[in-house]
Amino acid sequence: MARRNYLTLAAAGWGRSMSAYPERMSLSLSKHPSFSGRPGPVLVVVADGVGVAPPGASNAVTEAVTPTLDLLTSGELYTELAAHGPAVGLPTDDDMGNSEVGHNALGAGRIFEQGAKLVNKAMADGSIFQTDVWREAVDHGRIGTLHLIGLHSDGGVHSTNEQLYQLLHRAADDGVTSCAVHLLHDGRDVPARSALGYIEATEAVLAEINGAGDGRDFRIASGGGRMRITMDRYGADWPMVERGYRTHVFGEGRRVASATEAVETMYGETDRGDQYLGEFVVERNLGDGGEPAGTIVDGDAVIFFNFRGDRAIEISQAFEDDHFDHFDRTGPDGESRPNVFYAGMLQYDGDLEVPTQYLVNPPAIDRTMGEFLCAEGVTSFAISETQKFGHVTYFWNGNKSGYIEEALETYIEIPSDNVEFDTTPAMKVREITDETIDLLRSGEYRFGRLNFPSGDMVGHTGHLPATVEAMEIIDESMAKLVEVIDELDGVLIYTADHGNADIMFTESDGVRSPKTSHTLSPVPFAIHDPNYDGEYHVTGAAPGPAHGLANVAATVFNLLGYEAPDDYLPSIINF
């Protein structure tokens, strides 16, 4: 059953209406001089993780039978968009896009420097280490232990090890003698079984730091797979956060002599990728009455070093919130949760102020598409299932929680199943489609947006047949949506936020290796307009995308009969 009115966000405390912001009242749009829009609604479909790559055995998008998508992407009103690197506010063209920055760009209509780039700049100029937050964390680390928790890879979607290493070196330079790293295996934005290489590199950094100063004790203390512990989002699996909290804080988990031993042992027990590996705790003098290498106790400091917000909010609440009720934070011997100084790399939710302490200011995204539409009185809806619900609401609205104007908007969440998504490749695509059709036919909404999550979530499993099936179900659903748009004389936009399903494995010497990460591929952009009679044309045809995701917002304004704001990136269509 669908949940209306952002119940998941409200349950997490995300619910303040943005109508309280007076600056919205000054926003306005001008009518388009030659196009007043179609009689029916404009619908944007974001097929998450569906990039454009050459056909081949590794491309689940082209391996699938998708007659509806084939028609959309071969028509006159089709082009491709850049969805990675500087086009979405990331540092370089080597940086993969992701759902957060993709939906930020779609909703904002402009390019804002994103977390990775902001942190890199703050580290390069040293400003991150001049903040009161860093100084206080170091002060706690000089007396007790500084704990660093985060995703352990160079994937660049949620974190980078290079940023972790800079934190470690600076902490040592600033006099911290005890530092515990609590690592979360990736295997999702990087190769599925790459954890051992990252652990080896980190152990070398720790050994270098320890060898350069007397009495230093920098070590790996605990860890586990990112889809097993700590990094839940949107309230989908609070027990996952609890497992992480109890692992990092109280040392509950499989006891091992080292992180390497933990991974090697689990590799021998399962063929699953790093993201699903169980939790572990490094124990000093294992088997000889030893103790965990880094439990979190009163007076310690904790820094969560992910820069991306969605999977950092819940663990931050677990550390910070005095009125937290999602699980019991009492220790195994009845001890209270420790009183620690907690900070994030960034503030992950500006409305909720989660966390209250952070090292780098997040991007300040203002004047979003939704704010302009609400100012014009345009009714709209946003819908997805739990796994991507925040992307069409929170991220689309510029990292702001709740409604912009509740009287004009409806947000609908279809609860996700708590399963491994290659076992249910349909996910909730059919349910999202059925609910969207009801919304469209109600006649209440001029604009709608939805996210089909399966190209990304199933693609991340590395399971090619399941991802092919996911694409075919998306195609089936798109056929239904096209039919309704035709019925209502509306317009449908089909696009994506980044690549993933388009490259499912790499091959070397005849050996295939699953690719679970996002790709650097462009994404499709197609308009289906049953009343199209040549009034406008799509610009930026191949080769190479001339536009990026941030150009979509101006296009939506045009198709609704408005001119885009002057500072928005140009529309993909011209008249």
Handedness of CA 85, 91, 96, 97 (dihedral sign): negative
Task: Give the closest residue to 495 by CA, choosing from 459, 463, 462, 449.
Answer: 449
Q: Where are the alpha helices (DSSP H) in 175-256?
A: 195-211, 238-250
Q: Measure the CA–CA gap between 14 and 415, rounded to whole angstroms.
A: 17
367: left (phi over 0), alpha (psi -120 to 50) or beta: left
Catalytic residue among 99, 380, 477, 571: 99
Q: Which two tokens stand for residue 100?
A: 């957060």
Is 34 designated active site?
Answer: no
Q: DSSP letters of 9-56? A: HHHTT----GGG-GGGGG---PBPSS----SS-EEEEEETT------S
- DSSP string across 555-566: HHHHHTTBPPPT
Nearest partner of 158 among 50, 237, 230, judged by Cα:
230
Cα 124 to the center of its chain, rounded Å: 25
Q: What is the DSSP string of 456-508?
A: HHTGGGT-HHHHHHHHHHHHHHHHHHHHHHHHHT-EEEEE-SSBSTT--EEEE
Q: CB neighbours of 542 closer than 8 A, spacing ≥ 6?
A: 79, 80
Active site residues: 99
